[in-house]
Structure 1
Amino acid sequence: MLGYLHDYANAITAVAYLFAVIGLFLALNGKIELGVAAMLWTWFLDHWDGHVARKTSHLRRPGVAEFGKSFDGFADFIHGILFPAAIIMLVGRGSALSFFASLLLVLSGAIRLSYFENVGLTADARFIGIPVSYDTPLLAVMLLLRPLMSGGTFETALALLFSVLAVLHVSDFVKVPAIRGLGVPIATAVAIAVSLALMAITFMEANRLGGPQ
């Protein structure tokens, strides 16, 4: 089984899992911004594995591509569905709205990934329905905007926004182009910049709380 990791694309996916576990660990231990920052690395690595797989398709052994497709799909579930749902639960602190939003996101995300596994992209390389890969970047943007929101506004806005996104995940009328070619390094640069911004917010907040009273 481990022999399937002796492949450039699958090795990249394995590294993506490392950052996914780091992200979950940090978030579940109260470091939500740092957790999302780590998960953004899973996100852009998830784009690179597909990019590398296409570039090295002529070098891959039989069965490696099929393994990679499933391996990548589980990573999509973690960073695009499970992780955002967990963050909604954490910031919602047991509210009914956070439960509803998380349930809706998990169901729609699982349906969306299962559909893509069997149907794939359209003839013009577009996704049907918004892909789950949009979830973690949206979560990161919301966290950047969090200091501008008062009271429980953030928790409510996050749950409502992801409830809408969950519906769009399974909407046939939505067509979204895949991130390919030059879009991959651009997406990588943006993800790294946002992850650094989230880290900076965390450290500034820690310094503020630890400063003179």
Structure 2
Amino acid sequence: MSARWSASTFHCRRCGARVSAPVEEVLLAEPVFFTAEGAANDPRFEPRGSLEPGTLWRASPEQFGRELDLLVHPDSAVDLTPCGDWIGCCGPAGGDGPNLACPSGHPVATRVADCHTADFVAFARARVDERPAAAPSAGRVVVIGEPPIVRVQQLVAALHGCLGVTAWHDDDFEALVLDHTTSPGEPVRIYWVDAAASQRAGVPVARALAAFACARRTHGGVTALIPK
């Protein structure tokens, strides 16, 4: 894999302990990837999909607050123990400050997992350092966008080809990804080279990303579309 496909790990700012597995950023304007029982009760969440293990979404302070700004799947948080107020109905609601600590006992993250919320772990940017790491190696890696994707038809053809989907779904990205999730295969990470240029050319980058975010886990692993 090319060295440019890099990930990050989070480390406690006070003691340096690693508190996350390698995660790769998924660029989404809105948090469409949450899922939990009762999440539909909150209009901010669409309970169709989840943030995949191995991926990261950076929320703005306006969206979730400064203690909930580096969101990962719970499986991507490592060596954390409960601390502080673990308040909620069926799980922690996450509204009372950090409730997960590093091995040395320093609060670094918040688990949100109540019956009326989404389900994620959020590292607080002010409490962790982000360090470069090698991207996860499990599964198949595919690169699209070389040559640059400047028409939606190019993207449609590339995704059909790399996912091995035989039925033609045109630009119905959700149907395309669903077709892949119902067929045998292996986890796939798709790196989209210069997705920003594709977006400037009018290619529906956000809609394609949302379809993959909503696909959740497939074949025991991750099928993720990661813009670079």
- Higher RCO structure (Cα 8 Å, ≥6 apart): 1
TM-score interval, normalised by the smaller of the two chains: under 0.3
TM-score normalized with structure 1 length: 0.23
TM-score normalized with structure 2 length: 0.22
The structure carrying a bigger helix percent of its residues is 1
